[in-house]
């Protein structure tokens, strides 16, 4: 059977993209940039969790969100420490 479409040309250094259903990460992104972007994402998550916990004080399930908030704060501290040591 004949192949109708030829293979695409092979590139010497193709750009690799790590893809998820929600975003893509270019493989050539340097670690400091990746840490900086992760820090911004976590900062947004921290603000969202904080606002939700403040506006729903006393409701059931708030303690689970409080635990998530603690984890976010620790991750943020680790990222900022890593960025400061680069």
What are 20-57's pLDDT values in tens digits? 666 677 778 888 888 888 888 888 888 888 888 888 87
pLDDT at 10: 56
CB 68 within 8 A of CB 21: no
pLDDT at 79: 85
pLDDT band at 16 (very low <50, low <70, confident <90, very high): low
pLDDT band at 14 (very low <50, low <70, confident <90, very high): low
């Amino acid at each position: 059977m004949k192949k109708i479409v030829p293979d695409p040309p092979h590139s010497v250094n193709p750009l690799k993209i790590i893809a998820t259903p929600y975003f893509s990460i270019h493989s050539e992104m340097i670690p400091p940039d990746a840490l900086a972007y992760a820090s911004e994402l976590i900062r947004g998550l921290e603000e969202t969790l904080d606002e939700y916990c403040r506006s729903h004080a006393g409701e059931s399930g708030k303690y689970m969100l409080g635990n998530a908030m603690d984890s976010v704060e620790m991750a943020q501290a680790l990222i900022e420490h890593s960025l400061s040591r680069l």
